[in-house]
Amino acid sequence: MTTAGSNREPKYRRIAGALKQGIEAGRYAPGDRLPGENDLMAEHGVARMTARQALAVLQAEGLAEARKGAGVFVREFRPIRRRGIQRLARERWGSGRSVWGTDVGDRDLAVEVVEVAEKDAPEAVAGVLGGARTWVRDRRFVLDGKPVLLSVSYYPAALVADSAITRHDTGAGGAYARLAELGHEPVRFREEIRSRMPTADEADRLRLAAGTPVVLVCRTAFTADGRAVEVNEMVLDAGSYVLEYEFEG
């Protein structure tokens, strides 16, 4: 333990700092196994708990991840670059392409449709859409075998009734293309972004390493006359995403 006014760090933090320097210097590359508890105990002359705490620091900071029965490894980071403006351009979904393709390129993306159902929306969403009854599309996005995003979209029930938005497969161009066909083309979008630690359910569904936060993105799509036609609530694995926004001044 350190005392007030002391500049000395606890041993586990000094060990964690040395490991971080090794990662930054390239001595431990992404995917490499870090020294285990026994290695750290022998090298630094510390107790097992101290070695365990040092490795836990790196996991909490998102630099490393534990693999059951194998050890602690430097986390591999191939960021998903979420281009917040380009992905929503009409020229994309209007030509039958998915907005998600802007983010992932040629990587292996699987979309798991958890639920498509008519139900009452949460009060805040109902207030935006002008009514509680909605069609809900609940999905999980899995990239290269790893869940990275949870997405729940709400649409006014009367507006999308009997359209492909109420089916598992919305077709080429997705829900925005179907809204345009219904005469309710989205032309303006608003996104609100914040971050927090995940709930237990979110951590389980996204298979998050301990200490990994999530980014919450709530997007509302509006028609030319200002009507809100979709509210999309997304939960992103913060360790997998870079949020990119490009503006002209």
Asked whether residue 102 falls in the same domain as residue 64, the answer is no
Domain assignment present for residue 3? The answer is no
Q: What is the pLDDT of residue 136?
A: 98
Asked whether residue 190 falls in the same domain as residue 236, the answer is yes
Domain assignment present for residue 16? The answer is yes
- Cα–Cα dist 244/86, whole Å: 10
Asked whether residue 118 falls in the same domain as residue 228, the answer is yes
Residue 186: what are its φ and ψ, rounded to 5°?
A: -75, 130
Six token digits for residue 8? 């000395």
Domain assignment present for residue 182? The answer is yes
Confidence of residue 236 (pLDDT cuts 50, 70, 90): very high
Range 46-55, long-range pairs (CB < 8 A, 24+ positions): 46/11, 46/12, 46/15, 50/11, 50/12, 50/15, 51/12, 51/15, 53/10, 53/12, 53/16, 54/11, 54/12, 54/13, 54/15, 54/16, 54/19, 55/16, 55/19
Asked whether residue 118 falls in the same domain as residue 138, the answer is yes
AA identity, residue 117: A
Asked whether residue 100 falls in the same domain as residue 212, the answer is yes
Residue at which a domain ends, from 74, 91, 107: 74
Asked whether residue 51 falls in the same domain as residue 121, the answer is no
What is the arithmetic mean of pLDDT over 25-34? 91
**Residue 240 pLDDT more than 70?**
yes
DSSP-derived secondary structure letter, 62:
T
Q: Residue 188 sits in which domain range?
A: 80-244
Let me know: does 160 contact 135? Beta carbons within 8 Å: yes
Domain assignment present for residue 4? The answer is no
DSSP-derived secondary structure letter, 235:
E
pLDDT tens figures, 82-107? 777 777 777 666 666 676 666 777 77
* Parallel/antiparallel/unpaired status of strands 214-222 and 188-196: antiparallel
Confidence of residue 224 (pLDDT cuts 50, 70, 90): very high
**Residue 116 pLDDT more than 70?**
yes
Question: Looking at residue 230, which CATH number applies to its domain?
Answer: 3.40.1410.10
- Cα–Cα dist 129/154, whole Å: 8
Domain assignment present for residue 249? The answer is no
In DSSP notation, 179-205 reads HHHTT----EEEEEEEEEPPPHHHHHH
In DSSP notation, 89-108 reads -HHHHTTT--TTHHHHTTS-
Q: What is the pLDDT of residue 4?
A: 44
Asked whether residue 125 falls in the same domain as residue 164, the answer is yes
Residue at which a domain ends, from 42, 58, 74: 74
- Cα–Cα dist 129/145, whole Å: 34
Asked whether residue 88 falls in the same domain as residue 200, the answer is yes
- Cα–Cα dist 246/249, whole Å: 10
What is the arithmetic mean of pLDDT over 152-159? 97
Domain assignment present for residue 6? The answer is no
Asked whether residue 88 falls in the same domain as residue 156, the answer is yes
Residue at which a domain ends, from 46, 74, 102: 74
Domain assignment present for residue 1? The answer is no
Six token digits for residue 31? 């995917």
Asked whether residue 32 falls in the same domain as residue 87, the answer is no
| pTM for the model | 0.74
Q: What is the pLDDT of residue 143?
A: 86
What's the full length of the chain, in residues?
249
**In the chain, what percentage of residues exceed pLDDT 70?**
91
Domain assignment present for residue 5? The answer is no
**Residue 112 pLDDT more than 80?**
yes
Total number of domains in the chain? 2
Question: Looking at residue 36, which CATH number applies to its domain?
Answer: 1.10.10.10
Any idea which residue has 């997007």 for tokens?
Answer: 219
**In the chain, what percentage of residues exceed pLDDT 90?**
63
Asked whether residue 16 falls in the same domain as residue 99, the answer is no
- Find, among 84, 27, 30, 68, the residue nearest to 236 by Cα: 84
Asked whether residue 42 falls in the same domain as residue 97, the answer is no
The beta-strand segments (E) located in the chain are 64-67, 71-74, 80-83, 109-120, 133-143, 146-156, 188-196, 214-222, 228-237, 241-244
